[in-house]
Amino acid sequence: MSEPTGSGPVGVVLVSHSRDVADAVARLAVALGGGTGGRLVAAAGGAGDGGIGTSSELIVEAARRVDRGSGVVVVADLGSAVLTVRALVADEADDPAGGDDGRTGSNGDSTLPPGARLVDAPFLEGAVAAVVSAGAGAPLADVVRAAEDAYTYRKL
Amino acid sequence: MAELDTGFFVRWLTETAAAVDREADRLTELDSAIGDADHGSNLRRGFTAVTAALAEKPPPSPGAALGLAGRTLVSKVGGASGPLYGTLLRRTGKELGDAATVSRDDLARAMAAGVEAVTALGGAAEGDKTMLDALLPAVRALPESFTAARRAAAEGAVGTVPLRARRGRASYLGDRSIGHEDPGAASSLLLVSALERTWEAADE
């Protein structure tokens, strides 16, 4: 997988089964990030119809919205949210041009932007760490590490 | 034996969609025992979209038919079965490449790679009470015959009843997941049964 070379900030996408959860965690992360992360974060919560579930279309749309060419970090909650992002990342790795086996035209928009990464992180803590780090201008590898380090934060 | 052409694959996927539609309530019932009661409705939505996509844009090869079906499932299902079945069909299709016809042995090899990709995606193993408990025996038996594959999938699906779930939401139930058939194994049997029926219809 090639590393992105853009000079803009890293984007952060929050994928939850619930639109309310994704939106609220995005607001919390931006607030805790001192308000710097607002444009970097996109929430992709719930199924396409607004119910509980996962929408690959909302995820791809969110990732494209916050992609500034420097990579996008995706934080997901559970089950289908994680599996959908992993399938999309595998899709992008398999097929970076977005055009295998007869696919043409607008279907190329159905894949994540290059350099999108799913992080292995707890949803809320990982989201806050990623947004703070991306808002401070950290490169993709550092944003990934910040989010994944959230698992090492013990509460007792 | 006869080669399998694009039409065969389109009929297989259409037959699967019809079976999912017929059995959606039973799948959801199984899922309400140990899951979140959406497996039937999610798969029905996905396979309805697959049928529509195949009609709208007839695929040029067996591999393309499976690729189109897989991508449609990832984007339309909205639950874990979307990326899982989507990955199964996409990877199987990718392995078949752009050949105009394939043999049953080609399909068996390609499906084995597809199932392997599902294993990598979900991190489950045989015996974890998942779709793999039907799919892995099915792809092992497929080189023998379509009927052997269906029988193996059926045994695998029933074999999930006494198992304790180790993956997905059902795993949170621990021992309380024992005594229920896994909905993913049940829907995998529908896919493999549809393959057998499509073959029998073509063979007549």
CA distances from B36 to A87, B19, B183 (A): 21, 21, 11
- Of the ranges A75-79, B135-139, B173-177, which one carries the lowest mean pLDDT score? B173-177
Are the Cβ atoms of A101 and B68 closer than 8 angstroms?
yes
Q: Which domains, from first to last, does chain A contain?
A: 11-151 (3.40.50.510)
Confidence at B1, pLDDT banded by 50, 70, 90:
low
Confidence at B61, pLDDT banded by 50, 70, 90:
very high
pLDDT at residue A150, as a whole number: 93
Strands (E), B35-194: 101-102
Helices (H), A33-122: 56-66, 79-94
Residue A98 has pLDDT above 70, yes or no: no
- Interface probe for A, chosen from B6, B45, B71 (most Cβ of A below 10 Å), is B71
CA distances from B110 to B62, B65, B74 (A): 11, 14, 19
Residue A99 has pLDDT above 70, yes or no: no
Confidence at A12, pLDDT banded by 50, 70, 90:
very high
DSSP string, B128-142: SSSTHHHHHHHHHHT
- Rounded Cα–Cα distance for residues B170 and B187 (Å): 16
**Mean pLDDT taken over chain B:** 94
Percentage of chain B modeled with pLDDT above 70: 99
Percentage of chain A modeled with pLDDT above 70: 88
pLDDT at residue A102, as a whole number: 39
Strand duo B101-102 + B4-5: pairing: antiparallel
**Amino acid (one-letter) located at A129:** A
pLDDT at residue A35, as a whole number: 74
CB neighbours of B188 closer than 8 A, spacing ≥ 6?
Answer: B131, B134, B135, B138, B153, B156, B157
Half-sphere exposure (CA, 13 Å, Cβ side) for A23? 6
Strands (E), B34-151: 101-102
Residue ranges covered by each domain of chain B: 4-203
Residue A103 has pLDDT above 60, yes or no: no
| The most confident of A5-9, A122-126, B34-38, by mean pLDDT | A122-126
Percentage of chain A modeled with pLDDT above 90: 68
pLDDT at residue A109, as a whole number: 62
Residue A95 has pLDDT above 80, yes or no: no
pLDDT at residue A2, as a whole number: 56
pLDDT at residue A7, as a whole number: 77
Residue B2 has pLDDT above 80, yes or no: no
Residue A16 has pLDDT above 80, yes or no: yes
Q: Which residues of B have a CB under 8 Å from any CB of A? A: 38, 42, 59-61, 63-64, 67-68, 71, 74-75, 78-84, 86-87, 90, 93-94, 98, 117, 121-122, 168-169
**Assigned fold of B4-203:** 1.25.40
Give A-chain residues touching B64 at CB under 8 angstroms.
101-102
- Residue range B64-101, pLDDT digits in tens: 999 999 999 998 898 889 999 999 999 999 999 999 99
Confidence at A105, pLDDT banded by 50, 70, 90:
very low
pLDDT at residue B174, as a whole number: 86
Q: Which residue has the higher pLDDT, A5 or B7?
A: B7
- Of the ranges A85-99, A111-125, B74-88, which one carries the lowest mean pLDDT score? A85-99
User: Which among B75, B80, B94 is the nearest to A80, CB-wise?
Assistant: B80
